[in-house]
Amino acid sequence: MSTISIFGLGYVGAVCTACFAKKGHTVIGMDVSEGKVAQVRRGESPIVEDQLGELLSEGVASGRITATTNAQQAVADSQVSFVCVGTPSDESGFLNTRYLKAVCEDIGLALRNKDEVHLVVIRSTVLPGLVRGELLPILEEASGKKAGVDFLLAVNPEFLRESTAIYDFFNPPMTVVGGMNEEASDALAALYEGLDAPLVKMALEEAELVKYACNSWHATKVSFANEIGNIAKQAGVDGRRVMEVVCMDNKLNLSSYYMKPGFAYGGSCLPKDVRALNAWCAKVSLPSPLLASLSSSNDNQVDRAMTMIRESGMKKVGMLGLSFKPGTDDLRESPLVSLAARLVAEGYQLAIYDSNVSYATQHSPVAEQLWSSYGELFKCLVDDMDQLVDDSEVVVVGHAISTFKAVADTVNSGRLLIDLCGYLPGVSSADRQGICW
């Protein structure tokens, strides 16, 4: 077991103090507030939270929990320091990091006089890039030491809900460990041994963003359910019953199926139904700002792809895929059709490979109607995928199928690959760019 110092005895810090002690660690709570420190020393909770007072009292009685206002001593007597201070909004809505930076400076100064390698864990909620870009330099300057060598640095976002925080600590959906290096990740992961939850190791910036992605998704769900409820009431039905049925579907509605960054949605259902519901809201003068934003957000993905092609400065473009998704010839409201049409309109030399669409142009019972609607794009269709790649300066992968993945894996250097499906193993480079990665 480790000795852990926890900086900040507010909501997150007090809960972590109690729960790490319950797991058998020795915990030193540190706060500038003498009042909070005195409460914790007495085994009292500084906040209202179910079971927290009992766990703090138990930890103090066993000697596993102490508290201090002395930052130097807290670091000196521990192997790990968790930073749990608040990051409130400033007047512009951005993070106020004044307390966070002050704590990191205090920890850094304490590390200056410490020979052992110490693990510093940022548990406060911070935007991506802040730890590496702002906190790491403060720690290095104050300590006179090198991160990753003389001390370890990690990010460990919390997923604690007020009123159920103790349960959430011991039963998390996952434990996210963002280490500056493997040694930091392993040291942090060891503190959570025994918890029945997936442990995910990530880069610092990925771990920072996970917390914001989760909270923004929760906020989106609340707003979505409220807007559907408002629509339901306007229509004279019970929105609670509607959403109960929506939540019964764990194959699509409550699943990972649609939760993958990528290109825009399309097809015969989603665009049409979103428009219809927004039109109905407008007709009855019912504001639904979240639903109203969906179409413009979707269009933005097509804009992003178009911008990526423009910025390449190249004119020969090959597209792999045209229908709205793989395994169909359906072109209705396909975002790939929108992208292709814009490329043609702007004078790009466009070639398209989509075997399903090519078949439909000749054999569909509505082939004549298809030609009437999409004739300019059908003229760009080719039958040889390899030749398309050879002739193109920019290759756009638009369908998630194995043959196109092979192209993404092996496309010759000198060509720009634009991946709309998620095939690239990492983030973008000069000649391999992802729409969202």
What is residue 27's DSSP assignment? E
Summarize pLDDT for 81-124 with one digit per residue, the tens: 999 999 988 888 888 999 999 999 999 999 999 999 999 999 99
- Cα 150 off chain centre by: 30
424 in a domain, yes or no? yes
Query: Does residue 30 sit in the same domain as residue 176?
Result: yes
Query: Does residue 301 sit in the same domain as residue 201?
Result: no
Amino acid 409: pLDDT: 86
**Percent of the chain's residues with pLDDT above 70:** 100
277 in a domain, yes or no? no
Query: Does residue 305 sit in the same domain as residue 196?
Result: no
Query: Does residue 199 sit in the same domain as residue 311?
Result: no
How many domains, in total, are found in the chain? 2
Residues making up the binding site for NAD(+) = 31, 36, 87, 125, 162, 272, 332
Summarize pLDDT for 48-76 with one digit per residue, the tens: 999 999 999 999 999 999 999 999 999 99
- Model confidence, pTM: 0.87
Query: Does residue 31 sit in the same domain as residue 172?
Result: yes
284 in a domain, yes or no? no
Place of tokens 């609607």: 373
Model confidence at 144, pLDDT cuts 50, 70, 90, reads very high
Domain boundary, last residue among 159, 178, 205 = 205
Query: Does residue 35 sit in the same domain as residue 172?
Result: yes
413 in a domain, yes or no? yes
Model confidence at 316, pLDDT cuts 50, 70, 90, reads very high
CATH assignment of the domain containing 326 = 3.40.50.720
Residues making up the binding site for substrate = 159-162, 211, 258-262, 266, 325
Summarize pLDDT for 394-414 with one digit per residue, the tens: 999 999 999 998 988 888 778
- Cα 193 off chain centre by: 24
241 in a domain, yes or no? no
Look at the alpha carbons of 16, 18, 19, 24 in this order and tell me if their dihedral is positive or negative: positive
Query: Does residue 166 sit in the same domain as residue 23?
Result: yes
Domain boundary, last residue among 205, 230, 251 = 205
Query: Does residue 201 sit in the same domain as residue 304?
Result: no
Amino acid 173: pLDDT: 95
| Integer Cα distance of 28 and 26 in angstroms | 7
Residues making up the binding site = 31, 36, 87, 125, 159-162, 211, 258-262, 266, 272, 325, 332
Summarize pLDDT for 167-205 with one digit per residue, the tens: 999 999 999 999 999 999 999 999 999 999 999 999 999
Amino acid 153: pLDDT: 98
Q: Name residue 424's amino acid.
A: L
Cβ(71)–Cβ(107) below 8 Å: yes
Domain boundary, last residue among 175, 205, 235 = 205
Average pLDDT over residues 409-423: 87
Average pLDDT over residues 206-228: 95
Average pLDDT over residues 145-159: 97
306 in a domain, yes or no? yes
Q: What is the residue range of 167's domain?
A: 3-205
| Integer Cα distance of 355 and 327 in angstroms | 10
250 in a domain, yes or no? no
Query: Does residue 171 sit in the same domain as residue 309?
Result: no
Amino acid 239: pLDDT: 94
421 in a domain, yes or no? yes
Query: Does residue 301 sit in the same domain as residue 195?
Result: no
Find the catalytic residue in 16, 19, 247, 269: 269
**Active site includes 84?**
no
Average pLDDT over residues 33-38: 97
Summarize pLDDT for 236-295 with one digit per residue, the tens: 999 999 999 999 999 999 999 999 999 999 998 999 999 999 999 999 999 999 999 999
